[in-house]
Structure 1
Amino acid sequence: MVFNQAIYYLLTYLERSNLDLIYLTWLWALFKPLCLLLLSLFLLPATILLFIYGSSLFCLIYKHWNRLKAAYSDDLWYGALKTLAILWELQGNIWHGYEVEGLEHIPTEGPVLIVFYHGALPIDFYYLFAKIWLYRNRRVRVVADKFVFKIPGLGTLLEALEIQPSTSAMCKSMLEEGHVLAVSPGGVREALFGDHNYQLIWKERRGFAKVAIEAKTAIIPMFTKNVREAVRAMTFGRRFLSYIYEKTRLPLVPIYGMFPVKMITYLGEPIPYDPDVTTEALVARVKKEIETLIETHQQRPGSITRACLDRFSCFSRNQTIIKNE
């Protein structure tokens, strides 16, 4: 009954509107090939893209499936972190074409301290955490500023990752227990108030060097190409926000981006423990090593457009030639 009424109203509307159905049919027959062509130009590539991403996800999970089965049978957090590492690796590979050079410098056992340049958002460290966990079978321990523990909703993740407050005693303890520890002397200050010129903002921080000497640990310098182009911090009102940060330690600078730029993490040659080196000399050497990595691999000032073009080998190769010249 309802269907019949609907047909009746439709026919009545068409009759009152004086629509020429034959003319409309002719128009559809005329433009149908063009409409289908335009639709296919957008729909088919999107469909193929979904299949490619789905295939990549399936292959990656299948590759690590045996590891996951063993992980979940041993420890809850162990298995959860294995899963997160796979997902982060997938995300990094797809969105940033993420790579690591020098992963072999991470020892399979024993303590080591990674010192890295801090981007506006340390997504490069998340990706590196996944790579080290999956391919070196080691968990990277992390320390964080106190405000991180006050962010709502992160408690479980902080617990799973065993993230601890950033203190010299905690860092020394982790290294003496034989862990891989990652720190950024620039910290939040470097993250929020650095820019696309990639200058280190360490102030007078030398605690990491003191800890490394006391724990008799090697240091690995780290830098990630285009990390500033992936996510950037707003520069508007920076002087005022810097003043607020220095007084309150509140990270109020907005960040934006997550652009699909090419990202490559470079792990430099380990700086071995030297009982005769001073804290100041070790700080200077680590700083010089990271600055050398930046100078060698990063075009400055950074460009979001150029960093996106780095995803394509032809552009990346041309830029390398220009830089070398």
Structure 2
Amino acid sequence: MNKDQETDSYSKIWEKPRRFIAHIVDTYGKIWHGFELTGTENLPKGPGIIIYHHAVAPLGYILFVARYFLERERMCYSLMHRFGHWMPGLQMFFYVIGLKFYKQAEIVQIMKKGHLLGISPGGAREAMYSHDYSFMWGKRTGFARAAMEAKVPIIPIFTQNNCETYRTIGKTRLTQWLYDKTRCMYLPIYGGFPVKLRTFIGEPIPYDPNITAVELAERVKTALENLRDKHQKRPGNILRALSERFDKHYKAD
């Protein structure tokens, strides 16, 4: 694999494997979750950063990436946890779908090449320990700094019922302390429930040279919170999310 392939994995060689994977994922989403995607008109034709809440399994985001690729024939790169590279035998699969632990300079480079890239600022900590769709970003502003450096918009997306697909057992101060110290995930996961999933794409937050990265990050967080509050009933409930598979009267607005 040469250096150009490493920095830009969108190669004709991988187009058919990507399409095959996207079809499998999209079919799974349609059958198991009745997946719906709303607000695609808010996606830029050029580069941008997608920001989303990280559930235990970020199925909404994964289904969005697959549907986006099939409908737009554009790849959305994705930032993964650095420990994801420890998974044996999956490096080539991650490469094909553009999933990697990118450094900030690489993120900016992807933007400058005209691509979209998805980031969850809360990451694995949010996936394991957030409560009822809360955001655990801390003081993370790297995504905002990357967007400002590349001069691209940030697009918030939110998936209804995402936290009802899989859940964890054992959220305690001790296990959270262990994660903070080691960055390893200890909690058992259960689920796979066929709940209704709807992903909503919010309005893009444009590049603004007159604000700081901290202000931009806070603006993005507020936009995500607004999407959540508009489309998610809280507290989350698995039975209700299952029943929404049969709700024919739901309106996105």
Q: TM-score, normalised by structure 2?
A: 0.91
Two-structure CA RMSD over aligned residues (Å) = 1.6
Distance in 1, Cα, partners of 2:15 & 2:56: 29
Aligned to 1:84: 21
Instruction: Give yes or no for the alignment of 1:245 onto 2:182.
Output: no
Give aligned pairs, total: 242
1:168 touches 1:211 (CA, 8 Å); kept in 2? yes
- Residue of 311, 317, 324 corresponding to 2:245: 311
Distance in 2, Cα, partners of 1:233 & 1:125: 19
Aligned to 2:101: 165
Shift of 1:152: 1.4
Aligned to 2:142: 207
Aligned to 2:162: 227
Aligned to 1:112: 48
What CA deviation, in whole Å up to 9, does each residue of 1:10-48 have, x standing for no partner? xxxxxxxxxxxxxxxxxxxxxxxxxxxxxxxxxxxxxxx
Shift of 1:143: 1.7
Specify the SS of the correspondent of 2:236. Answer: coil
1:106 touches 1:136 (CA, 8 Å); kept in 2? no
2:129 touches 2:171 (CA, 8 Å); kept in 1? no
What CA deviation, in whole Å up to 9, does each residue of 1:63-89 have, x standing for no partner? xxxxxxxxxxx9331100101111111
Shift of 1:112: 0.9
Aligned to 2:7: none
Q: Where has structure 1 moved over 3 Å in runs of 4 or more?
A: none
Aligned to 2:114: 178
- Residue of 17, 22, 32 corresponding to 1:95: 32
1:230 touches 1:258 (CA, 8 Å); kept in 2? yes
Shift of 1:256: 1.0
Distance in 1, Cα, partners of 2:62 & 2:171: 29
Shift of 1:130: 0.8
Shift of 1:243: 1.1
> Structure 2: which amino acid aligns with 1:95?
W
Deviates more, 1:132-141 or 1:168-177: 168-177
> Structure 2: which amino acid aligns with 1:247?
K
1:222 touches 1:266 (CA, 8 Å); kept in 2? yes
Shift of 1:107: 2.6
Shift of 1:237: 4.9
Larger Rg: 1
Structure with the larger helix share: 1
Matches within 5 A, 1:2-81: 75-81=12-18
What CA deviation, in whole Å up to 9, does each residue of 1:92-130 have, x standing for no partner? 00100001111122233x211101111101111211111
Specify the SS of the correspondent of 1:269. Answer: coil
